[in-house]
Amino acid sequence: MDSAFGSLGVRRVTATCNADNPASVRILEGLGMRREQHGVADSWHDELGWIDGFQYAILKRSGLADRQMMPSALAEVLGENYEVGCEGLEPPTR
């Protein structure tokens, strides 16, 4: 979160996870992120078929945005079942 809200200057960070992954939910909520969407059958899983997903977000102004996110620790716990994005950046140029 430090990098996103500090040096990158974003105003909002979003993350998605599978709804049936309680470890992901605990981490995202523990970071102060708020669940904004419950997508019903919105993601295809090769073994499980269509599964539900959650989308979370946190704004810089929330005050909770000062918490630090450790990407390596998050990746270890969450595995492949999450995506993290930032809004407020210019699109990459190619």
Would you say residue 29 lies in a domain? yes
Would you say residue 58 lies in a domain? yes
Would you say residue 92 lies in a domain? no
- State the average pLDDT over residues 55-67: 75
Residue 68 has pLDDT above 80, yes or no: no
Would you say residue 18 lies in a domain? yes
User: Residue 65 — very low, low, confident or very high, per pLDDT cuts 50/70/90?
Assistant: low
The 10s digit of each residue's pLDDT in 33-54 is 999 999 999 999 999 999 999 9
Would you say residue 43 lies in a domain? yes
Q: What domain range includes position 66? A: 2-87
E-assigned strand segments in the chain: 12-18, 34-45, 49-59, 82-87
Would you say residue 93 lies in a domain? no
In the chain, the number of structural domains is 1
CATH of the domain at 43: 3.40.630.30
Residue 58 has pLDDT above 70, yes or no: yes
Would you say residue 94 lies in a domain? no
**8 Å CB contact between 4 and 82:** no
The 10s digit of each residue's pLDDT in 5-41 is 888 989 999 999 999 999 999 999 999 999 999 999 9
Would you say residue 16 lies in a domain? yes
What is the dihedral sign for C-alpha 4, 72, 40, 46? positive
- State the average pLDDT over residues 55-82: 63
